Amino acid sequence: MQPNEATQDALAGTRAGALNDWYRLHAAQEVLTHALRAPETGRLALVSSFGAESVVLLHMVSVIDRATPVLFIDTEMLFTETLVYQQELAERLGLKSLHIIRAGAKDITAQDPDGTLHKTNPTACCALRKSVPLEAALKGYDGWITGRKRFQGGARIALDFFEVEKPSGRMKVNPLAHWRPEDVRTYMEENRLPRHPLVAKGYPSIGCSPCTSPVAPGEDPRAGRWRGQAQSECGIHIENGRIVRPPNTTQPQQGETA
């Protein structure tokens, strides 16, 4: 007899809680090593934007297991610098299982034929080009690895290493949850890792080209994302069982995910 959904959620939550208790004082590398090798976490993929800080987890994965699946969402609106950086970094680190994720051509034609959806409804654009393709790609995995950190604020301030994503029940692993900005910089410097070329041009957080602008000194690092709009998250992360969405936006229509 198969356990019902509530029982499965409870079991998954208990498993995540036990992992957090066990690894609370461990280093990020130990957490990631355990996540990739322990049977209780299942089959995992690293979801990477190849953005400003992505090289840290990509490097850790390349050291622990280069065959770890890496999912890269190409929205087809990314900076050219990001696409070049992705290719060069994947080759340098010897990543053996890189998967490029894109929205279906039919979906793009039906929902954003002229490529302007990001101007009229950025939430719907992120759903079309990021959330929906990622959800489809993750169906083959028991969980995924993210680069989220507590210092990024918002719903992330209480982030744990392990959490259960609802309603999918997938394990979400956040090895860098407890890192500080200086930890990221130190790791990059000590391992001589190449930075995204746009960081030096004032882009501490990098997304799609039309929706990302440089950040002035003293501004929040994410101030350049969807500047002047209510949008603040792309929607691929789920917090407390709900898809993260900016305030004052409508719920998705049937068949739409944000």
Is-catalytic flag, 211? no
Instruction: Domain 5-243: give its CATH architecture.
Output: 3-Layer(aba) Sandwich (3.40)
The CA-CA-CA angle for residues 102, 106, 107, to 5°, reads 65
pLDDT tens digits for the chain (258 residues)?
A: 345 555 445 445 555 555 555 445 447 898 899 899 988 889 999 999 999 999 999 999 999 999 999 999 999 999 999 999 999 999 999 999 999 999 999 999 999 999 999 999 988 999 999 999 999 999 989 999 999 887 776 667 778 888 888 778 888 999 998 888 899 999 999 999 999 999 999 998 899 999 999 998 888 777 877 776 655 555 554 444 344 443 333 333 322 222
Altogether, the residues listed in the chain come to a count of 258
Please report, for the chain, the start and end positions of each structural domain, with discontinuous segments joined by +.
Answer: 5-243
DSSP 13-79: HHHHHHHHHHHTTS-HHHHHHHHHH-GGG-SEEEE----SSTHHHHHHHHHH-TTS-EEEE--S-B-
Say if strands 242-243 and 238-239 run parallel, antiparallel, or are unpaired.
antiparallel
End-to-end Cα separation, the chain, in angstroms? 34
Query: pTM (2 decimals)?
Result: 0.79
Q: Please name every residue paired with 100 in a beta bridge, in sequence order, or none if there are none.
A: 72
CA dihedral sign of residues 13, 139, 87, 67: positive
Of 56, 258, 44, the residue nearest 147 (C-alpha): 56
Per annotation, catalytic residue among 125, 126, 208, 234? 234
Q: Please name every residue paired with 163 in a beta bridge, in sequence order, or none if there are none.
A: 172
